[in-house]
Structure 1
Amino acid sequence: MAIGLPTIDIIFKKLAATLVTRSASGIVALIVKDDTDSTHAVKEYTSVLQIDATKFTMSNVQYIKDVFLGGAAKVIVAPVATDSVAVIGDAIKTIGSRKYNWIGLAEGKDDEQTDLVAYIKEQETAKKSVKAVVFDATAPDCQHIVNFTNPSVTTASGKLTGEKYVSRLLGLLAGMPLTRSSTYYGLADLISVEEPADVESAVNAGEFVLFNDDDLVRVARGVNSLTTLSSTVSEEFKKIVIVETMDMIRADISATFKNDYLGKFKNKYDYQVLLITAINSYFDALANEDILDNTFANRAYIDIEAQRAAWIATGKAEAEGWDEQTVKNNTFRSNVYLGGNIKITDAMEDFEFGIDLQ
């Protein structure tokens, strides 16, 4: 079997001090259909003032502005030809290796929404943490896909069909800090929305919906489209804020391992302890920021059974009887087998208050 590149399936490091501010500074990749600039070159903006209106139609300029209205730190605009038959494929190709957190279509058609769903699921399988907002897709069932389903929204400028509001929601979610969820977030730019027949049923079906709450339009619940649960995928994975937190922790730990440990240390127990200590310091800092529950023992550790199984698989039967410390001392080739147990704090969203009258 070829050795190949080191596999980085773990998570690590101390970017905790900036995690909250980074979480509110997401990058959005916005796909627009536009032939104004015949080169269809990708544009990157960090401010509304940078938008070159001569490169886009008026409607696409407004979509870019809508992303910034939500609070995104950066917008990567991927223009594709209006006659493209592979909108998602063309956009992904032009975006290339640029990093972004959220992606979506301005005025995407049904088949394009479906293609974007397929792309995000591929990225999730590859353990990439990019997320998408799609419009009215058919049961995406994916923790990295937010499925917006309100048929229409009404702004001061008039009524818009739902797919034309995706850009605004991309900016909203990219700019949302991990200290809160999008649940009940008020959208002051909207006058009203066309609600689904049953808002609660829609939310339970993994739909991201808005509802009319007196004189303000609000997000009903900050959920993604996940509906299928398992022994390793629990109810919490339906929450956007929980998945966003997991993604950022995974990215921090993976990047730190690559930058600070990979190839720089021999694979022995002492150095694994250094790695674990750094990860646990990171978890402690996240607990101080209320990202993790500070009443819970958030800890990383050597995965004893995984490391034991690796030795047994090579024919070393005596590994079956090793005590824990012996397993720890017998590191396996270039592999670092770590596990972890953390508790991410959710936002307060459900309230019950019973009062007894005497």
Structure 2
Amino acid sequence: MAIGLPSIDIVFKKLAATLVQRSARGIVTLIVKDDTDTTYAVKEYKSQLQIEATKFTATSVLYIKDVFQGGAAKVIVVPVATSSVAVVGDAIERIGSRKYNWIGLADGANDEQLDLTAYVKEQEGAGKSIKAIVFNVTDPDCQHVVNFVNPSVTTTSGKVTGEKFVSRLLGLLAGLPLTRSSTYYSFADVISVEEPADVEAAVNAGKFVLFNDEEIVRVARGVNSLTTLSATVSEDFKKILIVETMDLIREDISGTFKTDYLGKFKNKYDYQVLLITAINSYFSALAGEDILDNTFENKAFVDVEAQRAAWVAIGKTEAEDWDEQTVKNNTFRSNVYLSGNIKITDAMEDFKFNVELQ
């Protein structure tokens, strides 16, 4: 049975080697209000050259092109009837089980932004890693929701209100690799933006803000809308880059476990060790790519206390006195209790340089 396990190690090594490339080619779902063609549920494009202009209004076509301008790998376009009273609900039903990384409304009203926020927060609670960009929602407080708030943006094509710039930001965040954050990203075709009254206060409140830096428009800070912290949710979770990295690592590990391990091996400690070794090899490769900190001991291990608690919960009270190795040897039914401790490298965003004159 153990002969098959080395293949998991190979899968993890391939995933680690392609993580940066995959992170820079995210999939975007764009919800548009469009009645032009009602003969299909969704359209998927991998290039703006594939866009079928006859199936959308000219405005919708521009929104789709905005997403590609940022570098997204694929855009899933979901047209919803302009008369719909449940735009987000109708769109989610049409999307079905399709996989995507980012979602947003091309031109969403406030109630629709709220509905999308509620949906993504619900998905986060279920352990999903879908991320959304919404416009000016009051305190979404979610690490998977980016809350863009600039009232208006002026580009070389003209001035638009903030909600109409969401499609462009979806392309930006889907197209950036994990080797850099969106902080201080500049837009070559954006002339100016209408800023919040206090840019720094807005950023501290979990708002995604563009600001005028002399003649360049930049992203003030690559933050999501998270504001509530806890013992297990630190300041780091406010960074889009950190959350994006955690999501990809989680997807790689859980996906590989489901595809190459689940149901194929007996739940014995020996087999768990081989799985842990493969995961740690993956972490090591990520450290070599500067995704994880190579000065930190990034590792996975058996969650001894969780496994001990599982035995105690069914009445095996002697498990309270088992030493660590005994707990590891006594795997619990079909459950694999693993945990991990990793350090994700952040981007350089803050700089302080003191000069003392003698």
Q: Tell me, in whole angstroms, the C-alpha distance in 1 between the residues paired with 2:166 and 2:23.
A: 20
Q: Could you tell me which residue of structure 2 aligns to residue 308 of structure 1?
A: 308
Q: Is the 8 A contact 1:117 1:140 kept in 2?
A: yes
Q: Could you tell me which residue of structure 2 aligns to residue 251 of structure 1?
A: 251
Q: Could you tell me which residue of structure 1 aligns to residue 106 of structure 2?
A: 106
Q: Which runs of 5+ in 1 are unaligned?
A: 1-11
Q: Could you tell me which residue of structure 1 aligns to residue 5 of structure 2?
A: none
Q: Could you tell me which residue of structure 1 aligns to residue 128 of structure 2?
A: 128
Q: SS of 2:248's equivalent? A: helix
Q: Tell me, in whole angstroms, the C-alpha distance in 1 between the residues paired with 2:166 and 2:179.
A: 23
Q: Which runs of 5+ in 2 are unaligned?
A: 1-10
Q: SS of 1:31's equivalent? A: strand
Q: Tell me, in whole angstroms, the C-alpha distance in 1 between the residues paired with 2:186 and 2:238.
A: 21
Q: Deviations over 1:184-235 (max 9, x none)?
A: 0001120000000000000000000000011110000000000000000000
Q: What is the CA distance between 1:38 and its match in structure 2? A: 2.3
Q: Tell me, in whole angstroms, the C-alpha distance in 2 between the residues paired with 1:302 and 1:41.
A: 45
Q: What is the CA distance between 1:40 and its match in structure 2? A: 4.8
Q: SS of 1:186's equivalent? A: coil
**Residue 118 of structure 1 aligns to which amino acid in structure 2?**
A
Q: What is the CA distance between 1:41 and its match in structure 2? A: 2.4
Task: Output the TM-score relative to the length of structure 1.
Answer: 0.96
Q: Tell me, in whole angstroms, the C-alpha distance in 2 between the residues paired with 1:244 and 1:13.
A: 18
Q: Tell me, in whole angstroms, the C-alpha distance in 1 between the residues paired with 2:158 and 2:101.
A: 30
Q: Deviations over 1:98-129 (max 9, x none)?
A: 11000000110000000000000110011000
Q: Could you tell me which residue of structure 1 aligns to residue 182 of structure 2?
A: 182
In the alignment, is residue 282 of structure 1 matched against residue 276 of structure 2? no
Q: Could you tell me which residue of structure 2 aligns to residue 231 of structure 1?
A: 231
Q: Deviations over 1:218-274 (max 9, x none)?
A: 000000000000000000000000000000000000000001110000000100000
Q: Tell me, in whole angstroms, the C-alpha distance in 2 between the residues paired with 1:278 and 1:23.
A: 21
In the alignment, is residue 58 of structure 1 matched against residue 34 of structure 2? no
Q: Tell me, in whole angstroms, the C-alpha distance in 1 between the residues paired with 2:161 and 2:340.
A: 44
For these two proteins, the number of residue pairs brought into alignment is 347
- Which segments of structure 1 move beyond 3 Å, counting only runs of 4 or more? none
Q: What is the CA distance between 1:158 and its match in structure 2? A: 1.4
Alignment of 1:42-191 (within 5 A): 42-191=42-191
Alignment of 1:1-20 (within 5 A): 13-14=12-13, 15-20=15-20
Q: Could you tell me which residue of structure 1 aligns to residue 321 of structure 2?
A: 321
Q: Deviations over 1:23-59 (max 9, x none)?
A: 0000000000000002352000000100000011111
Q: Tell me, in whole angstroms, the C-alpha distance in 2 between the residues paired with 1:39 and 1:131.
A: 28
Q: Could you tell me which residue of structure 2 aligns to residue 332 of structure 1?
A: 332
Q: SS of 2:211's equivalent? A: strand
Q: Could you tell me which residue of structure 2 aligns to residue 36 of structure 1?
A: 36
Q: Is the 8 A contact 1:40 1:78 kept in 2?
A: no
Q: What is the CA distance between 1:61 and its match in structure 2? A: 0.2
Q: Tell me, in whole angstroms, the C-alpha distance in 2 between the residues paired with 1:236 and 1:130.
A: 18
Q: Is the 8 A contact 1:40 1:80 kept in 2?
A: no
Q: Is the 8 A contact 1:290 1:345 kept in 2?
A: yes
